[in-house]
Amino acid sequence: MAGLWTGAAALATAGRRGQRWPQPLMRSVALWTVKYVPHYSRRHLVVSRALCSAGYDSNEKTFDKILIANRGEIACRVIKTCKKMGIKTVAIHSDVDASSVHVKMADEAVCVGPAPTGKSYLNMDAIMDAVRNSGAQAVHPGYGFLSENKEFAKRLAAEDVIFIGPDTHAIQAMGDKIESKLLAKKAKVNTIPGFDGVVKDADEAVRIAREIGYPVMIKASAGGGGKGMRIAWDDEETRDGFRFSSQEAASSFGDDRLLIEKFIDNPRHIEIQVLGDKHGNALWLNERECSIQRRNQKVVEEAPSIFLDSETRRAMGEQAVALAKAVNYSSAGTVEFLVDSEKNFYFLEMNTRLQVEHPVTECITGLDLVQEMIRVAKGYPLRHKQADIPINGWAVECRVYAEDPYKSFGLPSIGRLSQYEEPMCLPGVRVDSGIQPGSDISIYYDPMISKLITYGSDRTEALKRMEDALDNYVIRGVTHNIALLREVIINSRFIEGDINTKFLSDVYPDGFKGHQLTETERNQFLAIASSLFVASQLRAQHFQDHENSRVPIVKPQVASWELSVKLHDGIHTVVVSSSWPTFSVEVDGSKLNVTSTWNLASPLLSVNIDGTQRTIQCLSREAGGNMSIQFLGTVYKVRILTKLAAELNKFMLEKAAEDTSSILRSPMPGVVVAIPVKPGDLVAEGQEICVIEAMKMQNSMTAGKTGKVKSVHCKAGDTVGEGDLLVELE
């Protein structure tokens, strides 16, 4: 083991200096991930077991230098494989990303413009200059941005620079949803009924929708990632959907063309990973279950799918390969299907790039998809046959976002990560991220913090490891969606595999409210919170009684503490007695024993409650007795007072809640797109009065009641923060 640590340290040093890794080391650490976690002035080397173990042939020459035309976690992901293959890397970045992790990981870095994506990561002229000046022989586009832009691929080809992806014909054919659907039909791939042309305007959209029959899906022809997609159930929603989808499509892809097709209610979203080379070979690398979504964007993915049988899997895989071969596809790509309850499947779209959720496929197949993309781009044939592709174990991925899950299952949050620790100490855990303590989550880019992946011998083990990983994930400074992710993976319907794309709205029809504590869990939580309170009191007493204290204070020995604990709207009487490090706690008549190290400075605290192990996070602890504790993924606020303090607190006045029925505040940070009202206008309840764009998604804000507009506090183009006042009604 000592030799492994020495080798890993040498490997990391070589990678940090931009040197080519020694070949013996490259072989010996093929199963290990080396990661730098900058922390103030020190560097901590974290070496952890990787979840995919694709080997690398050092005699197989590919490229000397690759430019990564992306940012964040996917740029870091590509750089890791390049380092494994001995390839130097060039990062591009906007001015606000100058200190980002992907910039620090790369051997070289080039600024390509200011923060807005159109002026930096979508700025082809600046990126082409970076390619020329760096001498990069190839470009990996990651996903999003220019990854499916045929013009970018053409410009690279004109400069004799390799685009690490399919050729422009495949990008054109599969990137256009209209053309791809026609090609799929020709390749005998099952397709969804719909209109196979471009929708000209809202009136035509309504006419087509009526012909197809409601509900319909309106979506961007050139898009992906859930952007530019709307479901319409009637004519009015079709008109609104046409407007918003075309605006989002223009903003995200520079192409506002839309198409309409039949919306299949309650389907599963299952996709097939394909891999092709330039020699006519193509494979399908099993499926990924991606049905847990909100606003057409995936939240939890897994491989394989619990729903598919081997016959359906093979049929989907063969159709996916048939489509790939129909366009001479040569790279990693994904064919997405909608699957109904009878296992009928319909082609949705093909993404001609690396998918966000590719790690779960890597886990169950052992392939490094980035490495395969680089090999194929260089012209090497695939190393595997279809019979060689295994399903080995089970993998689950949770997309950890800077979002408030209590608002529409996740509206974006911004801020600076004041504290950040990934749960890499746990077995079977992989984290793909591009951030560090101090990183900013801004309004300019996708709010993803990381992709958290767990692997197990079966689904039960993978899910249990995910539960533990989410409990041990420390994220401070931004609102995040850990609570929602944890609730999904422990939900009985999810565990049984009873899921579809409407899972979240079906399970939480009134919106996500966090974990609902059972009586046993509530008592455990109250016992833990009370023990934390007493432990902090004992620590304070220890400091006060120290022999060097300037003011000697002698505290009487307290046998027990009688406390009043407020949780939600309930007040509970709790009695705590200490036999350090165990507290005996009586909660509403139930007796529990709580044991821990009680290290109050640690962001994580492992607590044993009568044999049940829990990992909690104490987010805040105030002198007035208020505490915020993350327990079972959800943050609970409690107020703990001694019996005397509780009696006196009855005389304190409560702050009156703000009446929000006459005002509209921004639910998220973003940019105001439109304000269709002015002072003096009469508006009806539910009428649109403001449109805000956040992370390339447009959100319609409506009036909470009928009334007259008193004042408007913003204008189109303004940047607003969460909670900013937008419109007031009389």
Q: Are 349 and 224 in contact (CB under 8 A)?
A: yes
The C-alpha R_g of the chain, in whole angstroms, comes to 28
* pLDDT-wise least confident of 73-77, 186-190, 663-667: 663-667
Question: In this model, does residue 12 exceed pLDDT 60?
Answer: no
Q: Read off the pLDDT of residues 128-160 as tens digits, 9 standing for 90 and up.
A: 999 999 999 999 999 999 999 999 999 999 999
Q: Read off the pLDDT of residues 385-402 as tens digits, 9 standing for 90 and up.
A: 999 999 999 999 999 999
pLDDT of residue 70: 98
Q: Read off the pLDDT of residues 400-429 as tens digits, 9 standing for 90 and up.
A: 999 999 988 988 888 999 999 999 999 999
Question: In which residue are the tokens 């064919």 written?
Answer: 335
Q: Are 14 and 20 in contact (CB under 8 A)?
A: yes
- Helix residue ranges per DSSP H, 472-559: 482-490, 492-496, 503-507, 519-544
Rounded Cα distance, 412 and 326, in Å? 39
* pLDDT-wise least confident of 586-590, 651-655, 721-725: 651-655
Q: Read off the pLDDT of residues 195-244 as tens digits, 9 standing for 90 and up.
A: 877 888 999 999 999 998 898 989 887 766 566 788 999 999 999 999 88
Rounded Cα distance, 111 and 106, in Å? 13
* pLDDT-wise least confident of 20-34, 200-214, 279-293, 512-526: 20-34
Other residues' Cβ atoms within 10 Å of the Cβ of residue 38 = 15
pLDDT of residue 555: 54
Contacts 24+ apart (CB under 8 A), 486-492: 486/515, 486/632, 486/633, 486/634, 487/512, 487/514, 487/515, 487/633, 487/634, 488/292, 488/299, 488/300, 489/300, 489/396, 489/398, 489/463, 490/463
Q: Are 14 and 88 in contact (CB under 8 A)?
A: no
Rounded Cα distance, 46 and 33, in Å? 8
Other residues' Cβ atoms within 10 Å of the Cβ of residue 450 = 23
Rounded to 10 degrees, what is the CA torsion of 413, 414, 417, 420? 30
**Better pLDDT: 264 or 108:** 108
Rounded Cα distance, 112 and 363, in Å? 34
Per the prediction, the chain carries an average pLDDT of: 88
Give the type of residue at 703. Answer: A
Q: How confident is the model at residue 296 (pLDDT cuts 50, 70, 90)?
A: confident
Task: Write phi, then psi, for 466 (nearest 5 degrees).
Answer: -65, -40
**Better pLDDT: 345 or 246:** 345
Q: Which of 397, 393, 390 is nearest to 461 (CA)?
A: 393
**Residue 363 CA, distance from chain mean position:** 18
Q: Read off the pLDDT of residues 432-450 as tens digits, 9 standing for 90 and up.
A: 999 999 999 988 898 999 9
pLDDT of residue 19: 33
Question: In this model, does residue 651 exceed pLDDT 90?
Answer: no
Residue 531 structure tokens? 């023990």
Q: Which of 184, 208, 210 is nearest to 197 (CA)?
A: 208
Rounded to 10 degrees, what is the CA torsion of 350, 353, 357, 362? 110
Q: Are 128 and 116 in contact (CB under 8 A)?
A: no
Per the residue annotation, which of 349, 357, 487, 586 is the catalytic one? 349
Q: Read off the pTM.
A: 0.82
Rounded Cα distance, 228 and 404, in Å? 22
Task: Write phi, then psi, for 705 (nearest 5 degrees).
Answer: -160, 170
Q: How confident is the model at residue 374 (pLDDT cuts 50, 70, 90)?
A: very high
Q: Are 305 and 287 in contact (CB under 8 A)?
A: yes
Rounded Cα distance, 250 and 244, in Å? 10
pLDDT of residue 547: 52
Q: Read off the pLDDT of residues 591-646 as tens digits, 9 standing for 90 and up.
A: 999 999 999 999 999 999 999 999 999 999 998 899 999 999 999 999 999 988 88
pLDDT of residue 30: 31
Active site residue 496: no
**Better pLDDT: 163 or 703:** 163
Q: Read off the pLDDT of residues 335-367 as tens digits, 9 standing for 90 and up.
A: 999 998 889 999 999 999 999 999 999 999 999
Q: How confident is the model at residue 324 (pLDDT cuts 50, 70, 90)?
A: very high
Segment (H or E) for 192: none
